């Protein structure tokens, strides 16, 4: 019998300040049909989950972030759980798990070992409510109930010693409602969706970075580039911070921009400026998680390109596509308007504006891995000739790389 593996997806879990505290890791069997329900990510197939996590070693434990893992009855009773680091893992229990005396005893034991327990899509009427005394996280699905019901449930849970997380928060309106209700955390993709796209001009914070990117792409004189950096001290500082980070992999400390050019050259500096473009805002407009998602997406796409054996220039372009794919949200402008300000190759523009070409398909795949359902991931991997193991390695390595940046 062939050992089956799974595709790993992720959803961000944020605190009230929209800072990343962890990921819910989602699993979809690589040989599984694409039509599955919201709570069926391998809950019944413990073997697939165990094989996948074993193959990844401990690399899926990212930085100091929490890992929320969906568990069904089989996984909850599996000895495999004892092999996981309890202080980092939150076991996400589905609402339809039957609270047998054996499972309740098991939950009590796992909590005593230090594991966190979260109750997914919670209601007091669900079978999983019997586990509430052992839970330290409770997730409320805002898509499954109206605002009044959600408000009553959130208020009732205030008297319990649990962290209340609103899940499947897909719009800014839902986020603001949940925040007003005093929810402790949020899970969903709302922060990466455009709110109004009302801005007419590029924010001054970004204009210098855009000008620098265009000068570097045109191989402009170093003095022209330095003039821009001299008038923007914050930009210079951030650039030096990035090129001196662990992720840059340099063995020497970069002390000035001219030194950076000498060591890195324009091509690599262009790469680091793309990082600045998505992380340069200090005005609080962009949630920290949005910036992190953009950087992760860029690195993820670059690593997928390496897995496919693409050349260095193509991989660099994939990094740019992923990084720039959220500029419409960061700038509060339509993507077409932003692309007018950037001198980019036609292939990058086609990928960003229409998901065309191989780069466009890889962008679709990166986005799919951020979706709670992982719909279409197997088909996209098949079209791109990427295995589940290659995808997972690229995905987890990208997350770790971004942690090294210290964003």
- The number of domains in the chain is 2
Q: 130 and 46: one domain?
A: yes
Is residue 295 domain-shared with residue 182, that is, in the same domain?
Answer: no
Is 199 within the bounds of a domain?
Answer: no
pLDDT, residue 108, reads: 97
- Of 192, 216, 242, the position where a domain reaches its end is 192
Whether 129 and 178 map to the same domain: the answer is: yes
Q: Are residues 304 and 392 in the same domain?
A: yes
Q: Does one domain contain both 334 and 211?
A: yes
Rounded to two decimals, the pTM is 0.84
Share of the chain above pLDDT 90, in %: 45
Q: Does residue 298 form part of some domain?
A: yes
Domain boundary residue, one of 157, 192, 227? 192
- Is residue 152 very low, low, confident or very high in pLDDT (cuts 50, 70, 90)? very high
Give me the mean pLDDT over the 294-316 stretch: 96
pLDDT at 341 over 50: yes
Mean pLDDT of the chain: 85
Q: Does residue 260 belong to any structural domain of this protein?
A: yes
Same domain, 277 and 338: yes
Residues 227 and 169 in one domain: no
What is the domain range of residue 17?
A: 6-192
Instruction: Select from 171, 192, 213 the last residue of a domain.
Output: 192
Q: What's the sign of the alpha-carbon dihedral 140, 143, 146, 147?
A: positive
**d(C-alpha 142, C-alpha 157), whole Å:** 15
**With 50 as the cut, is the pLDDT of residue 2 above it?**
no
- Assess whether pLDDT exceeds 90 at residue 300: yes
Residue 386 and residue 308 in contact, taking contact as beta carbons nearer than 8 Å: yes
**Helix or strand (DSSP H, E) at 25:** strand 20-29
User: Based on the domain organization, do 221 and 163 belong to the same domain?
Assistant: no
Report whether pLDDT(284) > 60: no
Specify the CATH number for the domain of residue 148: 3.20.20.450
Q: Averaged over 181-191, what is the pLDDT? A: 93
Q: Are residues 322 and 359 in the same domain?
A: yes
Q: Give the pLDDT band (50/70/90) at residue 106.
A: very high
pLDDT (0 to 100) of residue 36: 42
Categorize the per-residue pLDDT at 91 as very low, low, confident or very high, splitting at 50, 70 and 90. Answer: very high
Q: What local confidence, expressed as pLDDT, does residue 132 receive?
A: 97
Nearest alpha carbon to residue 58 among 22, 85, 23: 85
Instruction: Evaluate whether residue 197 is within a structural domain.
Output: no
């Amino acid at each position: 019998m062939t050992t089956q593996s799974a595709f790993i997806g992720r959803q961000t879990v944020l605190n009230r300040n929209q800072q990343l505290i962890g990921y819910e890791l989602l699993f979809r069997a690589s040989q599984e049909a694409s039509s599955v329900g919201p709570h069926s990510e391998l809950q019944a197939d413990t073997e697939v989950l165990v094989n996948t996590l074993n193959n990844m070693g401990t690399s899926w434990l990212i930085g100091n972030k929490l890992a929320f893992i969906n568990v069904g009855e089989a996984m909850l009773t599996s000895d495999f759980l004892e092999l996981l680091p309890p202080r980092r893992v939150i076991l996400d229990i589905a609402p339809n798990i039957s609270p047998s005396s054996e499972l309740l005893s098991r939950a009590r034991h796992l909590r005593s070992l230090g594991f966190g327990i979260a109750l997914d899509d919670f209601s007091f009427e669900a079978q999983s409510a019997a586990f509430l005394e052992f839970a330290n996280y409770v997730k409320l699905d805002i898509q499954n109930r109206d605002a009044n019901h959600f408000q009553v449930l959130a208020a009732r849970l205030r008297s319990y010693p649990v962290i209340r997380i609103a899940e499947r928060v897909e719009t800014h309106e839902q986020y603001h409602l949940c925040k007003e209700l005093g929810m402790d955390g949020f899970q969903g993709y709302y922060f990466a969706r455009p709110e109004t796209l009302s801005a007419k001009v590029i924010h001054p914070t970004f204009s210098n970075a855009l000008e620098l990117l265009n000068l570097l792409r045109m191989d402009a004189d170093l003095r022209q580039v330095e003039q821009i950096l001299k008038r923007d001290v914050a930009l210079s500082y951030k650039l030096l911070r990035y090129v001196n980070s662990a992720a840059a992999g340099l063995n020497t400390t970069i002390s000035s921009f001219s030194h950076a050019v000498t060591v890195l050259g324009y091509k690599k500096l262009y790469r680091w400026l793309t990082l600045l473009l998505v992380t340069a805002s200090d005005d609080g407009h962009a949630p920290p998680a949005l910036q992190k998602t953009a950087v992760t997406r860029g690195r993820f796409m670059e690593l997928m390109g390496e897995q496919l054996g693409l050349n260095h220039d193509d991989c660099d372009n994939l990094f740019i596509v992923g990084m720039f794919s959220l500029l419409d949200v960061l700038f509060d402008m339509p993507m077409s308007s932003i692309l007018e300000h950037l001198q980019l190759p036609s292939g990058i523009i086609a990928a960003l504006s229409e998901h065309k070409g191989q780069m466009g398909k890889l962008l679709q795949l990166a986005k799919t891995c951020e979706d709670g359902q992982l719909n279409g991931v197997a088909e996209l991997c098949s079209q791109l000739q990427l295995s589940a193991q290659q995808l997972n390695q690229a995905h987890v390595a990208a997350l770790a790389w971004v942690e090294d940046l210290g964003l």
